[in-house]
Structure 1
């Protein structure tokens, strides 16, 4: 089977996209053969702001129903594959949208949100992000984890501080994930995860989605798709072939203002970090170039079955376990 045939035959899932939601992106998703993606609908927003974002996303899905469908279950992912569409899995990068109301977890689940990151870079009511002193999971946070477990919502730990991440892993009765991270062993960065952290989540039944965000890659803005595969191989060697997937962190279509929003606490307060130049690895600069990743994984020596797992099957297994359908 050629790399192109394997890509076209496989379920392809991106565990994190926060691109500019517009028709041009959805057409590029189709070009890249993307079966489904975790699409961010909340960063710093509160309850009301997040509901508005969901309303907007629902409208976009309806307007581009020839290309998209809304995902609530893993059967919807398989349906997207059968129909040649991209499934939109709505996710948060911050539990701030729950505010101080545990009941909002079910409300958002009913609206179609299946993945929620516990913190985005800084402290919230649940726990601590990766850019400040980590006080761990709060008492309220433990209740939120239990409620997310109850209603089948995946706990995402990508931007969470190490203590908070470990305590969520220990607290959760369901599998949890880093939807998009990179190994600290290749480049030290507050957003990257140590070998010990990667092994810990895998040993506890969790999952690691590997990102290609170049500020966190060893080669930085000079990275290619093969440098991305190097990071995937590094994580694979720690967590194994059943606990790894893709979470690109595509920000396609966004400009300077978007990154200013991301890199300031609450979107407007103190500066947390500077990314510098944002350019995706050569060979996978756009979502439409996704087939190049399948080819690069094969070139690195992964088997066809391993590539199928990494590119999407492992995500489906994880989500079925957590969502229950």
Structure 2
């Protein structure tokens, strides 16, 4: 039953930041991934981010048998029908907007569908989770309003608690934690408290649960069942319509990539040390998404709940924000 359910389901991953190559794309198809928020900007400004988008566009075109660029939820539905994976362009930082409000519309026109306000540290719009958090700036409020207007989903996964709370309250559209874990299972600056998870859900927001092992209770010894435990924890807090997956797959990357992630601006002071990084046993690669569906059913979720968690909930939220 699990295999058939997975084949029929819309499977949407709220965050992938893997090494983009043919092996990964073929694994996405073997895993039955319908669409994913694919990171094309972390520390980059305008010019470098445009270059990253150009490179992703070229990859999508060169691998059109596997991939389809997503602008609307209709594109996600098309990807499902055609057996391809829809690529949603996403940022993990608002630095690409620089200090120009008009850049929000420009990036929307280029196909960007999800933008995280801050990546771990302070920028012009607010503060990340590894610093004392002064909250959403005046410019940040303008950026958020413009994201609401053009239809870009606001992500708060790496954002500090004050900035996140103010953004949740300020936004006229649903916002999300695209990839997070509950601090109730492991205390970590990147994990969210029960109160934070309830607050975003109570304000119409959404929670994608990550499986990044440094943040999971059992660390590198975690399995797909530990991931399901975290999903269950969030599910019980926010309800079955407000939770999905956001694996944070980093498949294929080397130590230099992770070193850049954990240094402010990609090169400055070191913010944290992840230690060993290995995905949970049972979902080590993107080809193993079916194992997660099976583990959800084994963990007591109903088929309807499993379909919602694996992608239907994401599809609804994206349609609400994008408007199509």
Is the TM-score greater than 0.5? yes
Structure 2: how far apart are the matches of 1:12 and 1:39? 14
Q: 2:105: which partner in 1?
A: 106
Structure 2: how far apart are the matches of 1:150 and 1:233? 33
Q: 2:270: which partner in 1?
A: 271
Q: 2:254: which partner in 1?
A: 255
Deviations 1:248-295, CA, capped at 9 Å, x for gaps: 000000000000000000000000000000000000000000100000
Structure 2: how far apart are the matches of 1:186 and 1:67? 37
Structure 1: how far apart are the matches of 2:260 and 2:21? 19
Q: 2:194: which partner in 1?
A: 195
SS of structure 2 residue aligned to 1:8: helix
SS of structure 1 residue aligned to 2:90: strand
Q: 1:225: which partner in 2?
A: 224
Structure 1: how far apart are the matches of 2:300 and 2:162? 35
Q: What's the offset of the Cα at 1:120?
A: 0.1
SS of structure 2 residue aligned to 1:114: strand
Q: What's the offset of the Cα at 1:125?
A: 0.1
Q: What's the offset of the Cα at 1:86?
A: 0.2
Structure 1: how far apart are the matches of 2:154 and 2:288? 29
Structure 2: how far apart are the matches of 1:178 and 1:243? 11
Structure 1: how far apart are the matches of 2:303 and 2:288? 19
SS of structure 1 residue aligned to 2:240: coil
Structure 2: how far apart are the matches of 1:126 and 1:47? 15
Q: What's the offset of the Cα at 1:45?
A: 0.1
**Which runs of 5 or more structure 2 residues have no equivalent in the other structure?**
none
Matched, 1:16 2:7: no
Q: 1:305: which partner in 2?
A: 304
Q: 2:174: which partner in 1?
A: 175
Q: What's the offset of the Cα at 1:64?
A: 0.1
SS of structure 2 residue aligned to 1:227: helix
Structure 2: how far apart are the matches of 1:183 and 1:135? 23
Q: What's the offset of the Cα at 1:126?
A: 0.4
SS of structure 2 residue aligned to 1:20: coil
Q: 2:47: which partner in 1?
A: 48
Deviations 1:213-252, CA, capped at 9 Å, x for gaps: 0000000000000000000000000000000000000000
Q: What's the offset of the Cα at 1:123?
A: 0.2
Q: Which runs of structure 2 are paired with 1:1-325 in the superposition (5 Å)?
A: 2-325=1-324
Flag as ranges the 4+ runs of structure 1 deviating above 2 A. Answer: none
Q: What's the offset of the Cα at 1:180?
A: 0.2
Structure 2: how far apart are the matches of 1:114 and 1:37? 11
Deviations 1:119-145, CA, capped at 9 Å, x for gaps: 000000000000000000000000000
Number of positions where the alignment pairs a residue of Structure 1 with one of Structure 2: 324
Q: What's the offset of the Cα at 1:41?
A: 0.1
Deviations 1:133-188, CA, capped at 9 Å, x for gaps: 00000000000000000000000000000000000001100000000000000000
